[in-house]
Amino acid sequence: MAETARAGDRSGPATTRTGYIALVGRPNAGKSTLLNRLIGEHLSIVTPKAQTTWQRVTGVLTVDRDQLVFLDTPGLLEAKDLLQRSMLGAALEALSEADVVLLVADATRPPTERDAERLLTALEECSAPLFVALNKIDIAPARAVKAWTTWADERLGPEGVASISAAEGTGVDALLGRLRDALPEGPFLYPEDEIASESVRFFVAELVRETIFEHFHQEIPYSVFCRVEAFREAQDPVYIEVVVYVERKSQKGMVIGKKGQAIRAVGEAARSKIETFLGRRVYLQLWVKPLRSWRKNRAYLGQLGFRLPAEDEADAR
Ligand SMILES: Nc1nc2c(ncn2[C@@H]2O[C@H](COP(=O)(O)OP(=O)(O)O)[C@@H](O)[C@H]2O)c(=O)[nH]1
Ligand SMILES: [Mg+2]
């Protein structure tokens, strides 16, 4: 009896809305900055250099009865080596899973036909609604933002175009409202208090890699990948060992620096970021090891946790 009564009772739990929102766009448009702003945590690494996000990062935001699962992706780029093919694959995979696609565009750079074509090709197999976030309006002239909006409306036919500053937060709440309204109904995919699906180890390694991007220039940041080898949280301070892989022996000396100066500076800066992230004191030990041409090596990329592009596709190039 009680069951039947409840079935007709309209005051029961309201339905929830849940969906994957893929953040796509050119490298350096501000996708990772936007993800961090939305989640309110430094989850995805951000640097002024292009192509810093190499694997997809998931950020989960639960507001009332809505759960938004943001997929930060490497930029849609022209893939030149195996690592870049893996990066592009990660972006396309996120698109294939997306319930909503959010193109993040840098409003300070004029739109190009090539970008539109690349995006529209990537979206061919994807039926999810498209929104455009015109980012960096804090520094883009109003004229440029207006021209971009008109162009995006005509060329991409999105559900909506929002002007935002991911760095300062302007317009982000309004954008969030529109994204929430575009979510399909469905049960939550993550516990309400969860903000990420990758492991703490992943984020710790990424913080070391971000620090390398800040301390080195030219090819070093793009030759380095970091992996946590030990993580002992029962200790205080938390004991963490990270291996910093480089592509060539000669780079090992550069990363270590004279009398270990360079790696010590990286270690200090990274430790402070990790302490903020974990909210704990940390002892950080860094090891630099060559892993010959790892960016081009399928076995190494696999061991380092990258998604690999299909074999035949790789061989055809
Ligand atoms: N002025 C300004 N800079 C931004 C904004 N959003 C991102 N940036 C900067 O743009 C650069 C690239 O940002 P990032 O989030 O790494 O871009 P991604 O490659 O698309 O993930 C960084 O130097 C950011 O600080 C913004 O709203 N305004
Ligand atoms: Mg990024």
CA of 245 to the centre of ligand 2 (A): 20
Q: What value does the mean pLDDT of the chain take?
A: 90
Among 105-109, 119-123, 145-149, name the one with the lowest average pLDDT. Answer: 119-123
Would the pLDDT of 276 be above 50? yes
| Higher-confidence position of 13 and 55 | 55
Nearest CA to ligand 1 atom 28: 136
Span 297-303, mean pLDDT?
Answer: 93
| Whole-number pLDDT of residue 312 | 47
Nearest CA to ligand 1 atom 12: 28
State the greatest distance between any 2 C-alpha atoms of the chain, in Å, as a whole number.
Answer: 80
Would the pLDDT of 95 be above 70? yes
CA of 21 to the centre of ligand 1 (A): 19
Question: What does each C-alpha distance from 48 to 55, 190, 213, 215, 310 come to in angstroms?
Answer: 18, 32, 9, 12, 31
The answer to whether residues 282 and 271 touch, using CB atoms and an 8 Å cutoff, is yes
Q: Is 77 exposed, middle or buried (0-12, 13-18, 19+ CB in 10 A)?
A: middle
| Whole-number pLDDT of residue 125 | 79
- Contact 77 CB / ligand 1 (< 6 Å): no
- Fold adopted by 200-316: GMP Synthetase; Chain A, domain 3 (3.30.300)
- Residue spans of the domains in the chain: they are 17-181, 200-316
- Contact 18 CB / ligand 1 (< 6 Å): no
Amino acid at 80: K
- 194: number of Cβ within 10 Å: 15
CA of 1 to the centre of ligand 2 (A): 55
In a mutational test of the pocket of ligand 1, which residue from 26, 28, 32, 115 has the highest number of ligand atoms less than 8 Å from its CB?
28
42: nearest Cα among 86, 72, 84? 72
Q: Do domains 17-181 and 200-316 have the same CATH topology?
A: no
CA of 10 to the centre of ligand 2 (A): 44
Atom of ligand 1 nearest to the CA of 26: 20
| Whole-number pLDDT of residue 222 | 94
Put simply, whether the predicted model's pTM sits higher than 0.75 gets the answer yes
In sequence order, what E strands does 64-118 have? Answer: 66-72, 100-106
Radius of gyration of the chain from its Cα atoms, rounded to whole angstroms = 21
Angle of CA points 306, 311, 313, to nearest 5°: 105
d(CA 32, CA 39): 11
CATH superfamily, domain 17-181, is P-loop containing nucleotide triphosphate hydrolases (3.40.50.300)
The token pair that represents 196 in the structure block: 């990420």
Angle of CA points 124, 186, 161, to nearest 5°: 45
The token pair that represents 151 in the structure block: 């162009």
Amino acid at 114: R
103: nearest Cα among 214, 26, 157? 26
Nearest CA to ligand 1 atom 13: 30
Would the pLDDT of 316 be above 60? no
CA of 120 to the centre of ligand 1 (A): 23
Span 230-251, mean pLDDT?
Answer: 96
- 100: number of Cβ within 10 Å: 22
Determine what percent of the chain is predicted with pLDDT higher than 90.
72
The token pair that represents 56 in the structure block: 């997809």
d(CA 90, CA 74): 7
- Reported confidence tier of residue 115, pLDDT bands at 50, 70, 90: confident
| Whole-number pLDDT of residue 13 | 61
Span 167-177, mean pLDDT?
Answer: 97
- Reported confidence tier of residue 300, pLDDT bands at 50, 70, 90: very high
Secondary element (H or E) of residue 39: helix 31-39
Question: What does each C-alpha distance from 218 to 1, 45, 94, 212, 224 come to in angstroms?
Answer: 72, 18, 29, 11, 12
